[in-house]
Chain A
Amino acid sequence: MAVIKLERKPLSLAERTYLPQIVGGLKITLKHLLKPTITMQYPEERPAIPAGYRGAPTLVKDPHGREKCVSCQLCEFVCPPRAIRITPGEIAHDSPNAHVEKAPQAFDIDMLRCIYCGLCQEVCPEEAIFLQNVYSTTGYTRDSMVNHKADLYQMGGTLPDEHFKWDKKKEAAEHGGSHHG
């Protein structure tokens, strides 16, 4: 390997006085002084949340307004910090969603325990729980840091659904044949 010897020039007088360098530095800082500030004024300005952001877990409804969660409790079991607590409940017989197996009676996520790992979203067979763009959860008490079912649906909103699995199941049950058809 060829070795290239670089000749180190001795510093010139101007460089040794250090003064031109200070003037150069002053120019740079002056430029920064005149530049607009880049700080985001947080509570007034909010950051744009990118798609796929893993914020607080939320529950979603399908486009027909049916709550997608069937309270299978898989998320509760998979949750590493045990932040989720579900109380399963029956669906009334006269409800239009009576064909769906179950619905959660209560669904609490303790945001003091949640570690935003997204395993609940990963494990959900019904695509009912999603980590969405809520990034700031605050409260004055421990109780206020628990998101109840109503809060979860309010935060989650509606997500588009391509399958309408339970509608197909209902149709299959009424007209015979497999819903996989």
Chain B
Amino acid sequence: MAVIGVMFPLAGACSMAERKISAWIQGRPGPNRAIPFWFSWVPVLGPILQKLGAFHLLADGLKFLFKEDVVPGHVNKKYFIAAPILAMIPALSTVTFVPFGAYIDLGGNLTPLILANVDVGLLAVFAVSSLGVYSVVLAGWASNSKYSFLGGIRASAQLISYELSMTLAVVPVLLWINAPGTAGTMSLSKAVEFQSQPGFWGGAWFAFTMPISALIFLICLFAETNRQPFDMAESEADLVGGFHTEYGAFKWSLFFVAEYCHMIVGSAVFILLFFGGWNPLPWLPLSSVAALLHITELPLLVGLLSIGIFLGKILAMLFLFMWVRWTVPRFRYDQVMKLGWQKLLPLAILNLLVTIIAIAVIQH
């Protein structure tokens, strides 16, 4: 519950951050007007929050709640309403499989903070987050409109094409952290543990040891979350609004919160796998930082520190998402398919083969 309580506002704040960053990149100040009159009496803090558009966020949320929730006459009503709810479920439930911090227990072991510490961690994230596309397809189909329909079709095609490369990009990491003959694991916290070992190779984040995997995963992540330059499902230029053309008010905003949740979870997985999770810097694991600050015996502080570091990294990733959005123009649909099937998939397979051989050579 607490995690979801963080996720939901964070996803909402993302929409404001998105507007602000897009404004700054375009040389505009962005939303900076709304302020409740009683808050304008607060010195310093009031104007700062106003300039950052914090109250626009509240106003937007209220607007989405209170405006008329139109259900067009031509839609398939039951599924039309079910789609945004279906979008929220996988978006919020994947977070249970994602470790978001670690603390040092009394035995001196680093224990991950996670809601459901299952061995299939990564698989579960992939499996549940892929369900997100069903909501898009359902929304596209239930809307009974050609734009929504095309948006839904594109979304499913894109998801299938990029899911493959994404999974193949992760396999080298799993091969690396699982020695043959021992009990295997797909837990994400194990991946972080492997990146916090002492020594040059042990401390290196997987982004340095497997840059191609990281790159493929990052590109696929952009595609999976339907972000520019891969937002085929929306592409407001040629599809009006894609799958959410017929949606408005709160149902529409649910789709967006779901998209941002996917972004957050996606970046979390990316950071855990390739950017050292809650380790502040490469070759500087959390435990040595805790020892440096003399807080090893205080699990609460270590836990908070690790969560802080992890959240900071996630925010940096979200910034990257928005930064890329205002830099790279949208690909054409055929370009997306070409990139996915003809470039990324062979590259991912090649990368897998090379890594297998490399691991075999190293271990012998």
A29 touches B28 (CB 8 A): no
B327 touches A26 (CB 8 A): yes
0 or 1 for each of B297-333: is its CB under 8 Å from A? (1 = yes): 0000000000000000000000000011011100000
0 or 1 for each of B121-165: is its CB under 8 Å from A? (1 = yes): 000000000000000000000000000000000000000000000
Using a Cβ–Cβ cut-off of 8 Å, how many residues does chain A contribute to the interface with B?
A: 14
From 9 to 41 in chain B, residues with beta carbon under 8 angstroms from any chain A beta carbon are: 21, 23-29
- The interface-forming segment of A35-43, A57-65, A118-126 is A35-43
A29 touches B27 (CB 8 A): no
B323 touches A29 (CB 8 A): yes
Partner among B27, B215, B327 whose Cβ is within 8 Å of the Cβ of A37:
B27
- With both beta carbons as reference points, the residue of chain B lying nearest to A26 in the complex is identified as B327
- With both beta carbons as reference points, the residue of chain A lying nearest to B326 in the complex is identified as A29
B257–chain A nearest beta-carbon distance, Å = 25
CA distance A22 to B24 in the complex (A): 19
CA distance A30 to B327 in the complex (A): 9
Which A residues are within 8 Å of any B CB, using their own CB? 19, 22, 25-26, 28-30, 32-33, 35, 37-39, 41
Partner among B21, B29, B215, B324 whose Cβ is within 8 Å of the Cβ of A33:
B21
- With both beta carbons as reference points, the residue of chain B lying nearest to A17 in the complex is identified as B343
From 209 to 224 in chain B, residues with beta carbon under 8 angstroms from any chain A beta carbon are: 215
B222–chain A nearest beta-carbon distance, Å = 11
**CB contact under 8 A between A22 and B27, given known A30-B323, A33-B21:** no
A32 touches B323 (CB 8 A): no
A18–chain B nearest beta-carbon distance, Å = 9
Using a Cβ–Cβ cut-off of 8 Å, how many residues does chain B contribute to the interface with A?
A: 14
- With both beta carbons as reference points, the residue of chain A lying nearest to B32 in the complex is identified as A41
CB-defined contacts of B27 to chain A, threshold 8 Å: 32, 35, 37-39
CB-defined contacts of A29 to chain B, threshold 8 Å: 25, 323, 326-327
CB-defined contacts of B24 to chain A, threshold 8 Å: 32-33, 37
CB-defined contacts of A25 to chain B, threshold 8 Å: 327-328
Partner among A26, A28, A32, A41 whose Cβ is within 8 Å of the Cβ of B324:
A26
CB-defined contacts of B26 to chain A, threshold 8 Å: 32
CB-defined contacts of B21 to chain A, threshold 8 Å: 33
B343–chain A nearest beta-carbon distance, Å = 9
B39–chain A nearest beta-carbon distance, Å = 19
B29 touches A22 (CB 8 A): no
A39 touches B323 (CB 8 A): no
- With both beta carbons as reference points, the residue of chain B lying nearest to A16 in the complex is identified as B343
CB-defined contacts of A33 to chain B, threshold 8 Å: 21, 24-25, 323
A39 touches B28 (CB 8 A): yes
B328 touches A37 (CB 8 A): no
CA distance A32 to B21 in the complex (A): 10
CA distance A26 to B327 in the complex (A): 6
A41 touches B29 (CB 8 A): yes
CA distance A22 to B23 in the complex (A): 20
CB-defined contacts of A19 to chain B, threshold 8 Å: 215
CA distance A22 to B327 in the complex (A): 8
Question: 29 A–B contact pairs at CB < 8 A?
Answer: A19-B215, A22-B324, A22-B327, A25-B327, A25-B328, A26-B324, A26-B327, A28-B327, A29-B323, A29-B326, A29-B327, A32-B24, A32-B25, A32-B27, A33-B21, A33-B24, A33-B25, A33-B323, A35-B27, A37-B23, A37-B27, A37-B28, A37-B29, A38-B27, A38-B28, A39-B27, A39-B28, A39-B29, A41-B29
CB-defined contacts of A38 to chain B, threshold 8 Å: 27-28
CB-defined contacts of B327 to chain A, threshold 8 Å: 22, 25-26, 28-29
- With both beta carbons as reference points, the residue of chain A lying nearest to B229 in the complex is identified as A22
CB-defined contacts of A26 to chain B, threshold 8 Å: 323-324, 327
A9–chain B nearest beta-carbon distance, Å = 22
CB-defined contacts of A37 to chain B, threshold 8 Å: 23-24, 27-29
CB-defined contacts of B25 to chain A, threshold 8 Å: 29, 32-33
CA distance A30 to B25 in the complex (A): 7
